[in-house]
Chains A and B, each alone.
Chain A
Amino acid sequence: MTLLSVSNLKTSYGKTTVLTGVSFHIDEGETYALVGESGSGKTTLIRAIAGLAPAQDGLILFQGKNIRGLSDRKMRPFRKDISLMFQDPVGSLSPRLTVGGLITEPYRIQGMNNRDLNAEAIRLLEMVGLPADMAGRYPFQLSGGQARRVGVARALALEPKLLLADEPTAGLDVSVQGELLNLLNDLRDQLGLSMLIITHNLNIVRHVSDRMGIMYLGQLVEEGTTEDVFHHSKHPYTRALLSASPKPDPHAKMDRIILQGDPPSLLKRPSGCEFRSRCPFAKDICKEKPEWNETHGHNVRCFIPLS
């Protein structure tokens, strides 16, 4: 069953078009990873789904209902089912609330005050593996990893169906990063969550996602099951990204595709294929706009896909 289906979503801020028509879907219980570099529109997309960024055109169907462009009041009931974990773990927690207050805030906002909030706080802390006495602490007293866990507890308080996680491991040490990903994996199995994870760290994608999409300048350029994309990537940008990640092995052979130049500005989008200004394989045909080619769930936007 499809839980979330986004089609042809477009977002502009003034004259700057950030998303130029994004389409993808997430099934129930599935984890989907969106990968791309800074400025590719990942965060805008996730915020648009959560109703926190504008989306001028397209559809966001959640359980079949369009939630694009809903007013805050109409969006509120959906926020029980769609929750967001922000990129900055400490910055997204109010410094003046205790951990207990923070993780039970969703209940108060949704008017569920009849619950025993203290008991809920303890239950949530236990769920994310934090000691119960943590409830009395303030955000500045937490380590980065603990703040992340509080973020998870807060996002999962209302037992959402969909968790949107914006760079859930950014800024964490490797030894702690694994803990957080294990926690998310466990909770997904326990609660039957669907997740949309945004990251630029390809190394973690492989271990958490079922399917993944690669974004470049506000558009998906490739999409498929995580295994397919890792082993049979078709788009030159995906190939470059995959080859870019340094391996913890001094003898690793580097068949690297080093991209020329920097990502173009959103204000000066290249004509035709938007990747052609950096693509090592660009040909004349790339001056046209490539179509989104769908083949057996492994889709690519490229005239000359790699094999």
Chain B
Amino acid sequence: MTAPLLQIDGVTIDYNTKKGNLRALRDISFDVNKGEIVGIVGESGCGKSTLISTILQLLPQNAEWKKGAINFKGKNLIACSEKEMRDMRGKDISVIFQDPMQSLNPVITIGRQMVDIQHRSTSPYVEKWQKAIDMLSMVGIADAETRLKQHPFEFSGGMLQRIAIAMALMSRPDLLIADEPTTALDATLEVEIIKRLKDLHKEMGCSILFISHHLGVIAELCQRVVVMYAGSVVEFGSVDEIFFNPKHPYTRRLIECDPGHIKERAKRLPTIPGEIPDLTEALEGCIFQERCSEIIAKCKISTPHFVSVGQNHQAACWLNHNQEPE
């Protein structure tokens, strides 16, 4: 077994805010192996965006690195200089963002933007242009040559997202980070993008870190899933384990809440009562305690650590500890 492509180990980040220290990421650890699609699922405020900025080392000024390490291809990203990071971004690690309209420049043609993004390459302009044509056809945009001369407003949302994918994959990155890439799209286009990502993944073999709050999309695309809640990882495992054998109450509630899960008309839909805790306040014990329906005394006293609850499946919940000899 080779070393994982991306190793996130105990990363803890605070934001200094007027209200005090906001604990945005708490002791986050997980790996992404070579060629693997890992899904991160979680609701607003769970720290998904902070996590991406952390991997890319693009955290805002008020972020404070408390502890942890990020290893990418054996290199510690924390120790990297800004120049080293800049060389890596967009080449070894690329990102697709939620809103394709906002990641493209509206007044420059698609072709020009696709050539510009190859600025590191020393090949002549014609070759870069040809590469842009090839990439566009690869993501299924017909008549690529004419299309390259058009501006972003001449494309539909689904096409723009495909262009964004083409641009992200242009440098054949080792890791592609997809931040809610289908959230802004309609259902029929959403499935098209997923299919496209699956095909490209097969073809290019890059690892994908796929971030979404949509369980259906995660179930369809990913091999492993990391569940996050309020800045913490609460459970991770293979996609089958997470969906069929969830061991953290939050994961269970989250799956129950997905209306796609309920086949017959329900008079009342399940919900998770309460709200995400105020992350600026110190909290003893489990992060999910206030909304958990299965709470036991220990949950209020100390933070549960991860324990193995199946093959390649770990959860941080005291309930699972009872089943094992201490």
Q: What is A's interface to B at a CB cutoff of 8 Å?
A: 37-38, 143-145, 173-179, 181-182, 185, 200-204, 206-207, 226-227, 240-241, 244-252, 254, 256, 258-259, 262-263
Apart from A248-B243, A249-B219: 10 A-B pairs, beta carbons within 8 A = A37-B188, A173-B213, A175-B257, A200-B186, A241-B188, A245-B260, A246-B214, A248-B215, A249-B243, A262-B159
Tally inter-chain residue pairs, CB-CB below 8 A: 118
Give min CB distance, A90 to chain B, whole Å.
Answer: 13
Name, among A175, A247, A251, A262, the residue most crowded by chain B CB atoms within 10 Å (CB to CB): A175
Bound complex: CA A245 to CA B260 (Å): 8
* Residue from the list A145, A241, A245 in contact with B216, Cβ < 8 A: A245
B193 to chain A, nearest CB (A): 11
Of B215, B218, B259, B273, most A-chain CB atoms within 10 Å: B259
Say whether B191 contacts A256, CB under 8 Å. Answer: yes
Q: Quick check: B220 and A250 within 8 Å, CB to CB?
A: yes
B187 within 8 A of A: yes
Residues of B within 8 A of A (CB): 43-44, 156-159, 186-192, 194-195, 213-220, 239-240, 243-244, 253-255, 257-262, 265-273, 275
**How far, in whole Å, are A176 and B43 apart by their CA atoms in the complex?**
10
Q: How far is the CB of A79 from chain B (nearest CB, A)?
A: 30
Contact A182 B191 (CB under 8 A): no
B195 and A143 form a contact (CB under 8 A): no
Interface CB pairs A-B, < 8 A, 14: A37-B188, A181-B269, A182-B269, A201-B187, A206-B259, A207-B269, A241-B188, A244-B190, A248-B243, A248-B258, A250-B239, A258-B188, A262-B156, A263-B156
A247 & B240 in contact (Cβ 8 Å cutoff): no
Nearest-neighbor residue (CB-CB) of B270 within chain A? A178
How far is the CB of B114 from the nearest CB of chain A, in Å? 20
Contact B240 A258 (CB under 8 A): no
Measured between beta carbons, the chain A residues less than 8 angstroms from B240 are 250-251
Report B192 CB to chain A, min CB distance, Å.
6
Name the one of A143, A185, A201 contacting B268, with C-beta atoms under 8 angstroms: A185
Give the Cβ gap from B223 to chain A, nearest Cβ, in Å: 9
Residues of chain A within 8 A (CB-CB) of B214 are 246
Q: Find the B residue at minimum CB distance from A35.
A: B187
Contacts of A250 in B (CB 8 A): 219-220, 239-240, 243-244
Determine if B271 and A175 form an interchain contact, defined as CB atoms under 8 angstroms apart. yes
| Residues in A neighbouring B257, C-beta threshold 8 A | 174-175, 177-178
Question: In the complex, are the beta carbons of A244 and B191 less than 8 A apart?
Answer: yes
For the complex, what is the distance from the CA of A254 to the CA of B195, rounded to whole Å? 12
Docked Cα-Cα span, A252 to B240, in Å, equals 11
CA gap between A104 and B268 in the complex, in Å: 29
**B219–A178 touching, CB < 8 Å:** no
Query: Residue among A143, A200, A201, A207 with the most chain B CB within 10 A?
Result: A207
| A240 vs B191: C-alpha distance when bound (angstroms) | 10
The contact of A240 among B188, B216, B260, B269, by CB within 8 Å, is B188
A227 shortest CB reach to chain B, Å: 8
